[in-house]
A and B are shown apart, each in its own frame.
Chain A
Amino acid sequence: MEGIGSKRVRLFVGLWTGFVVIAIYLPILCGALAGLSKGRYFAFPVRIYSTEWWWRTVSSFEIHTLVTNSLLIALIVTVVAVLIAFFGALAFARYPWKGRRLYQKVLLLPIFFPQPVLGLALLLWFNALGITPSWQTAAVAHLVWIVPVVTLVIAIQVYSFDPVLEEAAADLGAGRGFILREITLPILWPGIWSGALFAFLLSWGNFPLSLYTAGADSTVPKWLYSKMVAGYTPMVPALGTMSTLVAATLLLLAGATLMVLRRRRAG
């Protein structure tokens, strides 16, 4: 049944997808190139490659503080977001209750909201409460946007979960904690893990919320932006590339772990 038309569509879709993927990664490669060139100002083709700016970035005290801030925020955001979102996702997809439809829509509103405006709104709110913005407030700001995302990610897993399993266990006399530990959690683990991964990575790369709510503290994306606007050094693309590599490594590790676990379970 494969006609010529269908083959043509296949070719077009394949080529187009390939082209867009290349376009997506092109600027990231340009950044990597700029971070590895020796000159103070970027010029292509690169005359002399050197790792000088990488070393300067790695050994800079200022950068250490940034990375610590970003890491702390991302870790706190991950833990809190997964805790809230786990129950939030059960309410989203598992239990039929009266206000569920409304809850589903309200919960998604922060995702449908321009982040810079959300950041400014949070800044005003912290100010009204008399809280000085710092990396802690930035973590709260990240959560406002990330909790709904993680809830959605876990909810998708919850949808594929058959409530009959929990009911059968209850019929057989299992307690609430036992059911959660032995049935609900094991089935939902993949969703929880990908939710945690999303939380960490989205927080790690977030810029608009950190810009307004981190106060005097800086995170990696915030620092990069301030240097892009004024005071470019090759440390900017170097740190940008490193930050990208951290995210890529995490994603690869998570993917590999998932594959090993799946294989072990199958075998």
Chain B
Amino acid sequence: MADIAATGLPAERKSISRRLSTGLRCAIPAILFLIGGFLAPLVTVAAYAFATPKSFDVFRSFTLENFATIFDPANSVWVSFAWSVAFAILTVVLLAIVAYPIAYGLTRLFGRWAGLVSVLFVFPLFVSENVRLYGWVLFFIKNGVLDGSIKLLGGAGGPDILFTPGMIAFGLVYVYLPFMLFPMTLGLAMVPRDLVDAASDLGAGRMMIWREIELPLAMPGILIGMLLTFVLAVGAVAEAKILGGQSIITITHDIEIAFTYAQNWPLGSALAVLLMIMVSVLALFVMSRLDLDRILGRR
């Protein structure tokens, strides 16, 4: 009791030294959990990546053979890497365009409807992505909703676009929309309204306000959205499997094949390590340039 009474004293130095330990103490459960549930699995994967191919000799053998296999030009695994990265970049670009007007509406135009509209966009997150993607299969498939409707109207039937690369990109954009929209909305909410009004009063045009004020000030949020969607899309597999009909093998699919049919855990781990390095470098690079307190707390 006595030390708590002391915390309240105006002596700033005293209260800071106490808080220091309180903060750390609060963080301990989360830190311990992530060491056991996140760091340890990643270390295991890294260890497997250096194990003898097609074996389970983790921590007992050391070889670079798995990486040699991947970088061997005769091997076509780079194709799936290229597809995944290309899809991810395309997804990020498309999502930025699709989400920007909605984020703008949520922060500026919708007023008291903004809450309801946000809920409409959050809800799909709680429906498993395979259910939603399968709904699109039912929509685009032969005799499906689109095909049937066009025939009903006397047309020749819907376009045959299911199981094509374009459809996979569509699925990625569809599934990861909320991950772009909400960070972007947070970012746009950081743009002070008076600043926009002032610029407008001083005669700045719409384009100029957008380029010189809105975009730079909203950038932290937009960056988080881009990072999130890129990372999630590069590791995606369900879209290519369900909407792509396995016509394209993404990198995560390759990893999965190594783990299941091929029973080559070390090779799968080596692939996973490469993907992990790419994702972590990108994530840490972007996050090191952001001030999370400002974005989340709007202080």
Contact = CB atoms under 8 A, between A and B. Distances in A.
A97 B144 CA distance: 57
A240 B131 CA distance: 6
Interface size range on B against A: 35 or more
Interface in A149-205: 151-152, 155-156, 159-160, 167-168, 170-171, 173, 175-176, 201-202, 204-205
B105 interface: yes
Contacts of A87: 25-30
A31 to B, nearest CB: 4
A207 B48 CA distance: 25
Contacts of A176: 4
A143 B102 contact: no
A116 B284 CA distance: 20
A27 B139 contact: yes
Nearest to B117: A17
Interface stretch (B63-71, B73-81, B215-223, B225-233): B225-233
A38 interface: no
A109 interface: yes
A170 B131 contact: no
B261 to A, nearest CB: 14
Interface in B47-66: 48, 58
B265 interface: yes
B134 A237 contact: yes
Nearest to A213: B41
Interface residues of A, number: 105
B119 A255 contact: yes
Contacts of B268: 120
A96 B124 contact: no
Contact of B101 (A16, A92, A125, A237): A16
Interface in A35-71: 42-45
Contact of A240 (B134, B143, B276): B134
A261 to B, nearest CB: 16
Contacts of B272: 117, 120-121
Contact of A125 (B44, B104, B134, B236): B44
Interface string A78-97: 00000111011011111111
B283 A122 contact: no
Contacts of B131: 28, 31, 221, 224, 240, 243-244
Given A14-B105, A107-B30, A207-B238, A120 B20 contact: no
A114 B236 contact: yes
Contact of A208 (B125, B136, B148, B238): B238
Contacts of B231: 112-114
B102 A17 contact: yes
B138 A42 contact: yes
Contacts of A9: 109
Interface in A95-146: 95-100, 103-118, 120-125, 128, 140-141, 143-144
A247 B124 CA distance: 10
A145 to B, nearest CB: 9
A110 B276 contact: no
A124 B269 contact: yes
Given A106-B34, A112-B283, A117 B255 contact: yes
A100 B293 CA distance: 11
B204 interface: no
Nearest to B231: A112
Contact of A144 (B25, B37, B234): B37
Nearest to A126: B41
A237 B138 contact: yes
Interface string A203-238: 011111000000000001100110011000000110
Contacts of A76: none
B256 A91 contact: no
A168 B8 CA distance: 7
B279 interface: yes
B31 A205 contact: no
Contacts of B109: 9-10, 13-14
B193 interface: no
A173 B6 CA distance: 10
Interface string B272-294: 10011001100110011000110
Interface in B113-159: 117, 119-121, 123-136, 138-139, 141, 143-145, 147-149, 152
B42 interface: yes
Contacts of A73: none
Contacts of A144: 33-34, 37-38, 41
What 8 A-B pairs are tightest by C-beta distance, nearest first? A114-B235, A27-B135, A97-B23, A44-B148, A95-B23, A159-B297, A91-B27, A88-B30
12 contacts: A13-B104, A21-B120, A31-B134, A31-B135, A42-B138, A95-B22, A98-B20, A117-B275, A148-B34, A175-B1, A224-B131, A244-B131
